Chains A and B, each alone.
Chain A
Amino acid sequence: MDRAPVVPPASVGSKTFGRAFDDIRRGIAQRELWAHLGWQDIKQRYRRSVIGPLWITISMGVTALGLGILYAVLFHHPIAVFLPYVTTGFIVWGFINGCLTEGMSTFISNEGLIKHLPAPLTVYVLRTVWRQTLMLMHNMVIYVIVLAIFFTSLDHPYQLDQNGQVHPGLGWWSLLAIPAFALLALNGTWLTLMFGIISTRYRDIPQVVNSVIQLAFYLTPIVWSPDDLFGSGGNSWAKVVFQLNPLYHFVQVMRAPLTGQHVSIWSWIVVGAITVVGWAMALMVMRNYRARVSYWV
């Protein structure tokens, strides 16, 4: 019987980009698995409730309606344009927030599976991102309803605030929301991959992020608009600091096309750059620590 060579072939090392890419490739190939698991998670959460996953839609509807009206009144914005703005912002934020908070605990919550079945880590990452995508789709129902009601206020150039920026209104260019979502999902994937691995090793990271994320929500224009911050010329420093918040750009690239708002080319550039840099970092982490995850969970 032929026996193994005395020296292992060079290709079997575990800290290589080859193995990292292989993990990702095989993970994507098992799409039936992660698609099933992701959908299972949603059904699981609403098991034995009468209307099931429809609760996602309803709770988003209630939140968006309540806060949309509240903040429209607080900031003296016309409800017809501000409610769609808040609703869409909430939906996009929900996706980003979900990818961040649930992404970090991806490997921790899949501990049992990781320890008992050999599967690429990417499967669990895609399971999480796919679950968030499904949540987003449920929430988009609210967007469609809100859009149907307020379409006539959004299909022409409009302002959120009397002194504010003029937005171009909805048009065919609104389809840019689709590539914007693709970018968001790509970012959700590297975030989950990288922070998932780091959080598995350092269990304080999820706590840190959870405590910061609530603040980030208020710092990002979702329930308020940039016009409120510097509508009438305002503080010049606020303008600069505000642009430094990457979450603003992430929300804006998808929200703006959906609500017919002006979106700066800078937002696209920032999001694109973060996608590239983020993936590069995630691949490094993947190369070095992929094999350690099963030891750490």
Chain B
Amino acid sequence: MVSIDVWNASVDFPIFDAKTRSLKKAVLGKVGGNIGTNQRVPIIEALHDISLSLREGDRVGLVGHNGAGKSTLLRLLAGIYEPTRGSALVSGKIAPVFDMGVGMDPEISGLENIIIRGLFLGMTRRQMEKRVDEIAEFTELGDYIQMPLRTYSTGMRVRLALGVVTSIDPEILLLDEGIGAVDSAFLDKARTRLVDLVKRSGLLVFASHSDEFLMELCDTAIWMDEGHVKQQGPLRDVLTAYKGRDPYENMSPDQLARLGVDLADHRVESGVGAVLKDAGARA
């Protein structure tokens, strides 16, 4: 079964500066006791006491300010960071799409990068070779696929990463905000594919600052603030609380139609209702 469970997890980063990151202090520091300097390594509490339980079918948006812990939480869910306190259990085939520049070798071709990335995500070489053409076609990179990755723009790298991830049928898809770097035409194409994928595969966690993108891919949301979960609930409620206004307020009728939302029908709880009414009056 596809699931993510996190129990009271914290993620603390030790920050070693050049001086503390040496044996000298660890060894000599013990001898002769504390000489007045603080021997402890400073720690950044990136996540604090997080408890989550996500199941198949959940499509969760992560919102919050820069540095609120969105990316760290995604890495925790991916199993890259194991919690320093508490515990986490993730079952299912994970596909993370984080920072696009990293985890790809700039000197080798896009094609080879596709294969390596697939291998990292648990595919076999043969499976990847079968998919390579499809991915190349999806990414619309044409002959560029044979070029070294260093010749690619950021958007082209995102295309590549998205192409790989959406082609391997992951069960848990973790997306960081970097995917905004592609142009709008490709974004539309990717969106369809992502929506499909999420419907099929089941679990999505997506960190983004784009309301529209969040509305389209997610139905619930988690608001991260200073390493805590500040609010968790239906996407619209969380976004309203986070931004201080209803997310539908600023959308064009076209967008609303695509999302399949009818404002008049939309029944919301009290606090949000007031905002909505206000929006209605202005319209």
Contact = CB atoms under 8 A, between A and B. Distances in A.
Nearest to A10: B87
Residues of B contacting A: mostly: mixed
Given A2-B55, A114-B80, A204-B24, A12 B120 contact: no
B119 A33 contact: yes
B53 interface: yes
Given A112-B102, A294-B81, A8 B116 contact: no
Interface in B96-153: 96, 98-99, 102-103, 105, 107-108, 112, 115-116, 119-122, 124-125
Contacts of B103: 112-113, 116-117
Contact of A36 (B80, B82, B119): B119
A12 B80 contact: no
A30 B81 contact: no
Nearest to B13: A295
A202 B23 contact: yes
B230 interface: no
B270 interface: no
Contacts of B119: 30, 32-33, 36
Contacts of A112: 102-103
Nearest to A11: B89
Contacts of A294: 75, 80-82
B89 A47 contact: no
B158 interface: no
B108 A44 contact: yes
Contacts of B108: 40, 44
Given A2-B55, A36-B116, A115 B89 contact: no
A145 B118 CA distance: 40
Contacts of B26: 202
Contact of A119 (B53, B84, B120): B120
Contacts of A276: none
A233 interface: no
B94 interface: yes
B55 A116 contact: no
Interface in A99-130: 112-119
Contacts of A14: 82-83, 87
Contacts of B23: 202, 204-205
B5 interface: yes
B181 interface: no
A285 B33 CA distance: 26
B82 A291 contact: yes
Contacts, number: 91
A181 B105 CA distance: 31
B5 A8 contact: yes
A118 B87 contact: no
Residues of A contacting B: mostly: helix
B112 to A, nearest CB: 8
A202 B108 CA distance: 31
A37 B118 CA distance: 13
B13 A40 contact: no
B37 interface: no
Contact of A115 (B75, B94, B125): B75
Given A113-B103, A204-B22, A295-B13, A32 B125 contact: yes
A1 B54 CA distance: 10
Contacts of A44: 105, 107-108
B205 interface: no
A46 to B, nearest CB: 12
Contacts of B13: 295
A8 B55 contact: no
B243 interface: no
B94 A8 contact: no
A30 to B, nearest CB: 7
Nearest to B86: A8
Contacts of A202: 21-23, 26
B55 A12 contact: no
Contacts of B24: 204
A203 interface: yes
A177 to B, nearest CB: 31
Nearest to A198: B23
B234 interface: no
A4 interface: yes
B79 interface: yes
B88 interface: yes
Nearest to A30: B119
Contacts of B89: 8-9, 12
A116 B116 contact: no
B191 to A, nearest CB: 23
A119 B53 CA distance: 23
Given A8-B89, A204-B24, 7 more contacts: A4-B7, A8-B5, A32-B119, A36-B119, A113-B102, A118-B80, A118-B96
The 9 closest A-B pairs by CB, nearest first: A291-B82, A116-B103, A4-B5, A112-B102, A33-B119, A4-B53, A118-B79, A12-B87, A8-B7
15 contacts: A4-B7, A8-B87, A30-B119, A33-B120, A36-B119, A40-B112, A44-B107, A47-B107, A114-B80, A118-B96, A201-B21, A294-B80, A295-B13, A295-B81, A295-B84
Interface of A: 1-4, 7-9, 12-14, 30, 32-33, 36-37, 40, 44, 47, 112-119, 201-205, 291, 294-296
